[in-house]
């Protein structure tokens, strides 16, 4: 038979067990947090190192590690190709868009910017001619 006294004792024992389990869980969570905190320190150190390397690279002028400047080299090549294409258009006289693309090898989308910037002018019959506006491969440098 279960008496009120025995039921109260078992309830107190169950509450004590629950409290012990809660303390154990808190300790385990604390250990997990400690591991995360240790790991966080190394992650932050790595992030700081990556950021430092990025800043050093930016100060070096945007090199790719081998000492070459990817962006500026690409821009110089594009400008040289544009100068070559404008020279071909100047030599051959007024050309249609298709003839310019075929003769120079540039993409068709190249024509719009050259017209809007004043390097090519449209003529009757859908042809384009080279204007007298100077185009420099290196801006600010004389032709």
From first to last of its 143 residues, the chain has per-residue pLDDT tens of 778 888 888 899 999 888 888 888 777 777 667 767 777 777 777 888 888 888 887 766 555 555 555 667 778 888 888 888 888 888 888 888 888 888 877 777 787 888 888 888 887 778 888 888 888 777 655 54
Q: Is the pTM of this model over 0.85?
A: no
**Same domain? 57 vs 82:** no
Which has the closest alpha carbon to 99: 133, 137, 118, 125? 125
Confidence at residue 141, expressed as pLDDT on a 0 to 100 scale: 55
Task: List residues bridging with 130 in a β-sheet.
Answer: 120
Confidence at residue 106, expressed as pLDDT on a 0 to 100 scale: 77
Q: What whole-number distance in Å separates Cα of residue 7 and Cα of residue 108?
A: 91
Looking at the domain assignment, is residue 143 inside a domain?
no
**Same domain? 36 vs 5:** yes
Domain span at 101: 70-130
Confidence at residue 68, expressed as pLDDT on a 0 to 100 scale: 54
Looking at the domain assignment, is residue 142 inside a domain?
no
- Strand, coil or helix: what is 122? strand
Using only C-alpha atoms, the chain has a radius of gyration, in whole angstroms, of 37
* Burial class for 21, CB neighbours closer than 10 Å (0-12, 13-18, 19+): exposed
Looking at the domain assignment, is residue 22 inside a domain?
yes
């Amino acid at each position: 038979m279960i008496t009120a006294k025995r039921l109260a004792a078992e309830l107190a024992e169950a509450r004590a067990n629950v409290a012990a389990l809660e303390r154990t869980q808190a300790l385990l969570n604390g250990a997990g947090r400690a591991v995360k905190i240790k790991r966080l320190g190394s992650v932050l150190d790595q992030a700081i190192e990556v950021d430092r390397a990025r800043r050093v690279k930016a100060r070096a002028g945007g090199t790719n590690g081998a000492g070459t400047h990817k962006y500026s080299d690409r821009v110089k090549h594009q400008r040289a190709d544009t100068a070559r294409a404008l020279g071909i258009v100047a030599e051959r006289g007024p050309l249609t868009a298709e003839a310019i693309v075929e003769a120079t090898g540039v993409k068709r989308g190249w024509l719009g910017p050259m017209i809007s910037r004043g390097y090519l002018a449209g003529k009757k019959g859908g042809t384009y001619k080279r204007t007298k506006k100077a185009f420099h491969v290196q801006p600010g440098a004389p032709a």
